[in-house]
Amino acid sequence: MVLEDLKEEHPDAISVIRLNGMLHSDDNCATKEIARQLCLEHQLSFSKMASSDDNTEFMIDMLRECGLAHKTVIFVLEEFDLFAQGKQRLLYSLLDAMQSLTSQAVVIGLSCRLDADQLLEKRVRSRFSHRKLLFVPSSLDDIQRLMEHLLMLDKDSSLPTNYVTEYNSRLTSIFSNKKFKGVLDSLTDTDATTSNILRFLFRVVSYMDMESGFLSMECFTDALSSMQRQPKMDSLQDLSILELYILVCMNRLEDKEQKSYNFNTIMKEYKSIQDAYKTSDKYATTVCFRAFEHLLDRELITFADTKGRNVALEYRPVKLLISSRELAQSLKLNTTCPAVLQKLLDRERYM
């Protein structure tokens, strides 16, 4: 928004060059993209055959010329932390060029990592201004107030007074419902941005009962279900009882903050459950290992690292690829799931 305001206020004095670490973290690729955008911005011919050194020299010359012409070049680097990998030649070239008295340039790095600036090499960090802005996500109370502001009807609206009163009353009742708090938690767990909240509310309104004209709790739950991506849920639905036991054991190990565990560790946890609850769901180790391999094939679990490829499978560290929430939901939907598994998972989540 600030950039748009500046460009509107100074249309001929500002150029914006945008790079993304997902695409341009390679120095050669980045300098080529900068040269291309600079040529496009200033109506110059771009050479695809130019070398990386040529593009870097062209960039420095353009920054010098723009400075003399009182024009500012703003570099926006999305996924900034990815540019801080490798030799960081691009960052050094950009920040070093800005040290010139004639240069009028700004480099803005955007990253989800709080330690992004700590990834910079010493020579790059010495040229960094150390100006940082931290944007914290909105609190649940703020998000709920935003929803109330957007969904509540104005008392002075042209709609019938009785309808407005009833509509707002029902909405207030929904907002005070514990189930709504759960929906809000699930929504913000994945994405608490305002744009995602707006998309969610759009879906909520689209589920409104057209006959009554009122929103219900089901509108919010249905909207959440339609937004949540559940690529693993189908795979979880047709798992065997033993495979569910293995997943619950892995989840318990992770809840205990056990940093590294393998098949043998999982079997010890499985045996401790059998000893504690005296269930009839006892299987031989060879059968458990086949179930373990099946979970690997289904990509519900994976190896924790790429090391030790020559090590036997039962000794290689593994990790879950599903969340506790997805596992709990699959256990509830599985009609053959033993009650002890649900009890174990609920207890761990409570603790």
Which domains, ranges and CATH numbers included, belong to the chain? 1-126 (3.40.50.300), 140-228 (no CATH), 233-347 (1.10.10.10)
Q: Quick one: pLDDT at residue 350?
A: 41
Q: pTM for the full model?
A: 0.53
Tokens 């723009």, residue?
66
- For residue 216, which of 161, 177, 158 has the smallest C-alpha distance? 177
Strands (DSSP E) along the chain, which ranges? 14-20, 72-78, 105-109, 301-303, 318-320
Sign of CA dihedral 278, 281, 287, 289: negative
Q: Quick one: pLDDT at residue 206?
A: 94
The one-character DSSP state at 159 is: S
Q: Quick one: pLDDT at residue 308?
A: 67
What is the rounded distance in angstroms from the CA atom of residue 244 to the CA atom of residue 279? 14
Cβ contact 199:223 at 8 Å? no
What is the rounded distance in angstroms from the CA atom of residue 198 to the CA atom of residue 69? 43
What is the rounded distance in angstroms from the CA atom of residue 220 to the CA atom of residue 184? 9
Where the chain has pLDDT below 70, the residues are 101, 229-231, 308, 347-351
Q: Quick one: pLDDT at residue 200?
A: 93
What pairs with residue 319 in β-bridges? 302
Residues 6+ apart with CB under 8 A from 60: 93, 97
Q: Quick one: pLDDT at residue 221?
A: 92
- For residue 140, which of 174, 179, 188, 175 has the smallest C-alpha distance? 188
What tens digit of pLDDT does each residue of 179-205 get?
A: 999 999 988 887 888 888 999 999 999
- For residue 66, which of 89, 44, 92 has the smallest C-alpha distance? 44
Q: Quick one: pLDDT at residue 230?
A: 64
Q: Quick one: pLDDT at residue 351?
A: 42
Q: Quick one: pLDDT at residue 70?
A: 87
